[in-house]
Chain A
Amino acid sequence: MSAHATLLSPGPLCTIQDLGRRQGRREGLAPGGALDQRAFLWANRLLENAPDAPALEVTLGGLKIAFESETVIALTGADCEATVEGRGAGNWRTVRIQPGQTLRLGYSSSGLRAYVGFSGGLAAPEFFGSASIVIRDGLPSPLDRALESGQPLFWVGGSRSSPPRSVPIQYRAGPADSIELPFISGYEWEQFTVEDHVRFMSTTWVVGEASDRVATRLAGANLESGPKELDSVPLIDGTVQVPGDGAPLVFMRDRPTIGGYPKLGSVDPVALDLLAQARPGTVVQFVATDPAAARARLRRRETFFGFESI
């Protein structure tokens, strides 16, 4: 079977993602999945795909795809000034592609991660019920590595004759130089001093260079209290952990399942999308929320997009 398209250039980091692994965390596998879930979900919604249909997560841009079949794709997330045959293709919308055409993504000037959805979703090998590539987990090949030039791409849907669709302006995430993250205190929070509580909530944190799909690292202050010797504790999405150097990090989708450093609590999972687009240097401020409010936000998202979080 000839490929529907060929990846000519993956850019700095291009992976296949869906909503992540529903199973496997008990065995120590990361959840994985699209980091900016909202942008990913919009790509599939525009295409009338299943919410968890695999798509490309493109970090920073630099992508080039040569299409051999007619199809419809969707572009969401960071704006990489996509072009098809040199003509601007826009963002947060579907794009009809003819055989022989080439899609190019430039480099995003704001935001970090763009999503390219395909009609019906990419056909991709699965492990533990998910096509998500998690590089740090050492999954069976080819789920253990980023996509490379020459990668053939296949998708499940045909070329539908649906009219072009786009995400209403008010739902498009704009670039942000500073973000607020709703935070739920928990885990070893009570074992930190009040001074550190205040420091954590009042510091204007800055996203560090070493951030990746595993964790967003923050700089701006060092927390000094908290327990020193801990057995590893099961983690949840967005857990805020304070390693030995005292600079907190927020665990993202490729995180470990247990962690032995002291933990302050967790970031509202819906707000992790903001962090997924936060470039190094982005300013971060935590604001207190509670589990019920975060659950209501998560529930609204699940209802709107028609899925259940893993």
Chain B
Amino acid sequence: MIEFPGPRSALVSLPVTPNQDGIARVLSLERAALEALPGLCATIPAFNRLLIEGAAKDWDPEHVEAVMGPLLERCLHETVSLIDGPTISIPVCYDPDLGPDLSEVARVNELTNEEVARLHSGTVYTVLATGFAPGFAYLGDLDDQLAVPRRPSPRSRVEAGSVGLADRRTGVYPSAGPGGWQLIGRVPPSFFSDAQTRLTRFEPGGRVEFRPIARHEYEAEAG
């Protein structure tokens, strides 16, 4: 489905599950759109949607729809895969002191804290979207043994580096702020000290894995 929410924007919604396959199709559509519609100002892929923005001077919604319609059709039926890139490895200390919901996540899924850590760090995730806060990535899919709803009411402050999960997604809060996900561990602050890296580390379609570290390793990194 293609909509026009503004004067020079088109929002394409793909009727696919917002998981790894979904973002792969969205990224395929994004590449095709950039080729077919030269002069686009911005593209933002997220989950199963693609926003494209053009210049006001040559934005023609009918043309955009005529071009994007067949491209959308094609990307829904083609075999897609994510472009191979390096897997970003993120150190995490899974500890109830640093992840205040760790024990609760374990309890509702009838697991031990250690099993939560093993399952969470045993998957290579795909970046399904970036945003919310700069440097935040929505990662999926979480092992369904770890699926938990978000907290009934968000915390007013989540510490920077907190590793959260909700539904089939996980992610790392790059800076302190409000947040509603269940927190199961913490990434050392040094991982976020360089602003440039912190802001641009994740890209839609990128690969991410979590590497468990012990409390003393976390403390050493945290200084």
Closest Cβ of chain B to A234, distance in Å, is 4
**Complex alpha-carbon distance, A292 and B120, angstroms:** 48
**Complex alpha-carbon distance, A286 and B131, angstroms:** 28
In-complex Cβ contact of B55 among A30, A140, A308 (8 A): A308
Q: Is the CB of B174 within 8 A of A187?
A: no
Closest Cβ of chain A to B197, distance in Å, is 10
Q: Is the CB of A236 within 8 A of B195?
A: no
Closest Cβ of chain A to B135, distance in Å, is 7
Supply 7 further A-B pairs (C-beta < 8 A) apart from A28-B134, A184-B6, A258-B129: A26-B44, A27-B134, A127-B196, A139-B134, A231-B49, A233-B51, A256-B132
Q: Which residues from chain B contact A310 at a C-beta distance below 8 Å?
A: 41-42
Closest Cβ of chain A to B96, distance in Å, is 28
**Complex alpha-carbon distance, A238 and B5, angstroms:** 10
Interface string of A201-245 (1 = CB under 8 A from B): 000000000000000000000000000000111111111000000
* Partner-B contacts on A (CB < 8 A): 22, 24-30, 127, 137-141, 144, 184, 186-187, 231-239, 256-258, 260, 263, 265-266, 268-269, 291-292, 294-295, 297-299, 302, 308-310
In-complex Cβ contact of A234 among B41, B51, B59, B136 (8 A): B51
Interface string of B184-201 (1 = CB under 8 A from A): 000000000001101110
Q: Which 9 A-B pairs have the closest CB atoms?
A: A186-B5, A234-B51, A258-B131, A295-B7, A294-B7, A234-B44, A140-B195, A28-B131, A257-B131
Q: Is the CB of B6 within 8 A of A138?
A: no
**Complex alpha-carbon distance, A310 and B217, angstroms:** 44
Number of interface residues, chain B, beta carbon within 8 A: 45
Who on chain A is nearest to B203 by CB? A27
Contact A302 to B5, CB < 8 A, known contacts A25-B44, A187-B11? no
Q: Is the CB of B6 within 8 A of A294?
A: yes
* Chain B stretch 91-147: residues in CB contact (< 8 A) with chain A: 129-136, 138
Name, among A234, A236, A256, the residue most crowded by chain B CB atoms within 10 Å (CB to CB): A234
Closest Cβ of chain A to B16, distance in Å, is 12
Closest Cβ of chain A to B63, distance in Å, is 13
Q: Is the CB of B5 within 8 A of A236?
A: yes
Contact A309 to B8, CB < 8 A, known contacts A232-B138, A291-B61? yes
Q: Is the CB of B55 within 8 A of A27?
A: no
Who on chain A is nearest to B169 by CB? A231
Q: Which residues from chain A contact B42 at a C-beta distance below 8 Å?
A: 22, 25-26, 310
* Chain B stretch 7-59: residues in CB contact (< 8 A) with chain A: 7-9, 11, 18, 41-51, 53, 55-57, 59
Q: Is the CB of A237 within 8 A of B6?
A: yes
Contact A28 to B6, CB < 8 A, known contacts A141-B195, A144-B195? no
Q: Which residues from chain B contact A256 at a C-beta distance below 8 Å?
A: 131-133
Interface string of B59-77 (1 = CB under 8 A from A): 1010000000000000000
**Complex alpha-carbon distance, A247 and B115, angstroms:** 42
Q: Which residues from chain B contact A184 at a C-beta distance below 8 Å?
A: 5-7
Q: Is the CB of B134 within 8 A of A137?
A: yes
**Complex alpha-carbon distance, A235 and B50, angstroms:** 11
Q: Which residues from chain B contact A186 at a C-beta distance below 8 Å?
A: 3-6, 11
**Complex alpha-carbon distance, A308 and B53, angstroms:** 12
Q: Which residues from chain A contact B203 at a C-beta distance below 8 Å?
A: 26-27
In-complex Cβ contact of A138 among B9, B49, B129, B174 (8 A): B174
